[in-house]
Chain A
Amino acid sequence: MNNNKYGEEIVNRYIYDVTRRLSYDIREDIDRELRSLIDDMLGGKMESARREDIDRVLIELGRPSELADKYRDKKLHIIGPQLYDTYIMVLKIALGAVTLGLIIANIVSLIANPTITFATFGMLMGSIFSGLIQAFGFVTIIFIIIERYGNDFKKITIESWSLKDLPEVPNRSNKINRIEPIIGLIFSFIFISIININHDIIGIYVFSNGLTIVPIFNSGVFVTMLPLFNIIIGLGIIKEFSKLITGKYNLPVAIITTAANLLSIIFVIIIFSNSNIWNADLVNALNNIEGYVPADINVNTIFMYVRRFFLLIIIVPLIIDILNVTIRYIKNKLIT
């Protein structure tokens, strides 16, 4: 009698452990099938079978998860090889778009609510990070669903292979390090926020009796020049984005970079040809700060040099960038 109860219980457990892993529509049938099979394996004498025999039979049938696996069409992957390439491509686009979108959204919200603190940039990083994770999750889940249920859809996405589709062999010098444009974009965001919301924080920081910031620019003139500044940074954003999307030094990147940088250079010259943009009051303001002791360095002189070489500091890197992009492009044209 005890044997009977044990047999019944353990067979029930085994069959349950197999069938629970299978889809609802075939569960009952497989349940019956397995009971019938186990009975046959015990020589048709399940009621009177010994404990050891029942155990032996169940062990012979194997691990429930493996048996259930045999009953399924084996699908070991959540996103199969057919869909994988499409998935990766969509993922890259989605992540790139989210980054740019969030940067723009943050700019807009800052314009609406203009306060910049150090926390502002922490929050920018945080929102980009969480946005990226969400985008990753959405794309992945959608593709998992397609893999599981969308057999017709899969046929559509599998394009026939042709020789034209072969990707170019990546040339080391040809590839643009993806991180550089992203950093460029982040800095562009930072600059455009600062100049539009609180440009007076660009200046000399004096720590005596608390913090005093002496702005380096003349506020009034700066504001009239603001549109030009925005255009310059906008061109920079376009340029960086083009580098980010294409990922290599090709003709569009060369052209866009050259055009954007040349225009920027022109605008920068226009802006700074008006020497009134500098804060004429700078030296006085410094001297007026309580407890400010001028160091050996003559601030006046430094300021004069800064004004003279400011243009150079801006223009030279832009020219270097143009040369870099063009030379890399030509080098690769020559190689291929």
Chain B
Amino acid sequence: MNEISEIIDNLMLELKRGTIVMSVMSQLHKPTYGYSLVQTLTEKGYNIDASTLYPLLRRLESQGLLVSEWETSGSKPRKYYNKSDKGQRVYEALLLEWIRMVEELNILINNNGGIGNE
């Protein structure tokens, strides 16, 4: 039993890795800083470490999908991220692809691929 759950965990890790960019960008409809993003995602049931999220945000910024700005007006300086125009276009395209992929998978599952089918 343990072996099976280990295999499942590994495969789910792969799956999660594939959807992490979309998940993160889905919460960036307005300028947000890193830690609040962590909290928002966790509240909504998507567990992610700050040590994973922060480097990811940097990478997305270096790809031009996000823009960042240091807010120094408050008591503590914070780095706020937001989607760039390019990022917005990419995000919307990703969503369409995602919906398409889900439909494809559903077709496969319903045609003899599901639980209880041969």
A60 neighbours in B (Cβ, 8 Å):
49
The count of chain A contact residues (Cβ–Cβ below 8 Å) is 17
Contact with B along A67-104 (1 / 0, CB 8 A): 10011010000000000000000000000000000000
A70 to B51, Cβ gap below 8 A? yes
B87 neighbours in A (Cβ, 8 Å):
none
A41 to B34, Cβ gap below 8 A? no
B116 neighbours in A (Cβ, 8 Å):
none
Is A44 located at the chain interface by the 8 A CB criterion? yes
Report which of A36, A41, A61, A67 forms a contact with B77, defined as CB distance below 8 A: A36
Report which of A36, A41, A62 forms a contact with B78, defined as CB distance below 8 A: A36
**Interface with A: B22-30, B52-60, B103-111, which one?**
B52-60
Is B50 located at the chain interface by the 8 A CB criterion? yes
A71 to B58, Cβ gap below 8 A? yes
A70 to B77, Cβ gap below 8 A? no
Is A204 located at the chain interface by the 8 A CB criterion? no
Assess A32 versus B70: contact at CB under 8 Å? Given A41-B35, A71-B55.
yes
The count of chain B contact residues (Cβ–Cβ below 8 Å) is 17
Looking at the assembled complex, report how far the CB atom of A30 sits from the nearest CB atom of chain B, in whole angstroms: 8
A316 neighbours in B (Cβ, 8 Å):
none
B36 neighbours in A (Cβ, 8 Å):
40
B50 neighbours in A (Cβ, 8 Å):
37, 41, 61
A44 to B76, Cβ gap below 8 A? yes
Contact with A along B74-112 (1 / 0, CB 8 A): 001111000000000000000000000000000000000
- A322 CA to B33 CA in the complex, in Å? 79
A66 neighbours in B (Cβ, 8 Å):
51
Is A39 located at the chain interface by the 8 A CB criterion? yes
Is A180 located at the chain interface by the 8 A CB criterion? no
B79 to A33, Cβ gap below 8 A? yes
Q: Is the interface of A mostly helix, strand, loop or mixed?
A: helix
A73 neighbours in B (Cβ, 8 Å):
59
B51 to A62, Cβ gap below 8 A? yes
Most chain B CB within 10 A, of A40, A44, A60, is at A40
Looking at the assembled complex, report how far the CB atom of B40 sits from the nearest CB atom of chain A, in whole angstroms: 13
Most chain A CB within 10 A, of B50, B52, B78, B79, is at B50
Assess A39 versus B76: contact at CB under 8 Å? Given A32-B70, A33-B34.
yes
B70 neighbours in A (Cβ, 8 Å):
32
A70 to B79, Cβ gap below 8 A? no
Looking at the assembled complex, report how far the CB atom of B107 sits from the nearest CB atom of chain A, in whole angstroms: 34
Looking at the assembled complex, report how far the CB atom of B80 sits from the nearest CB atom of chain A, in whole angstroms: 11
B78 neighbours in A (Cβ, 8 Å):
36
- A26 CA to B58 CA in the complex, in Å? 10
- A37 CA to B55 CA in the complex, in Å? 12
Residue of A whose beta carbon sits closest to that of B58: A71
- A61 CA to B78 CA in the complex, in Å? 18
B54 to A33, Cβ gap below 8 A? yes
Report which of A26, A36, A44, A61 forms a contact with B51, defined as CB distance below 8 A: A61
Looking at the assembled complex, report how far the CB atom of A169 sits from the nearest CB atom of chain B, in whole angstroms: 36
B52 to A70, Cβ gap below 8 A? yes
- A61 CA to B52 CA in the complex, in Å? 9
B33 neighbours in A (Cβ, 8 Å):
36, 40
Q: A32-B79, A40-B35 are known contacts; what are 15 more A-B pairs with Cβ within 8 Å? A: A32-B70, A33-B34, A36-B79, A37-B34, A37-B35, A40-B34, A40-B36, A41-B50, A44-B76, A61-B50, A62-B49, A70-B51, A70-B55, A71-B55, A73-B59
Q: Return the 7 tightest CB-CB contacts between A and B, nearest first.
A: A40-B35, A70-B55, A71-B55, A61-B51, A62-B51, A67-B51, A36-B78
A-B contact pairs, 7 of them (CB 8 A): A36-B79, A37-B35, A41-B50, A61-B51, A62-B51, A71-B54, A71-B55
Q: B-side interface residues toward A, CB under 8 Å?
A: 33-36, 49-52, 54-55, 58-59, 70, 76-79
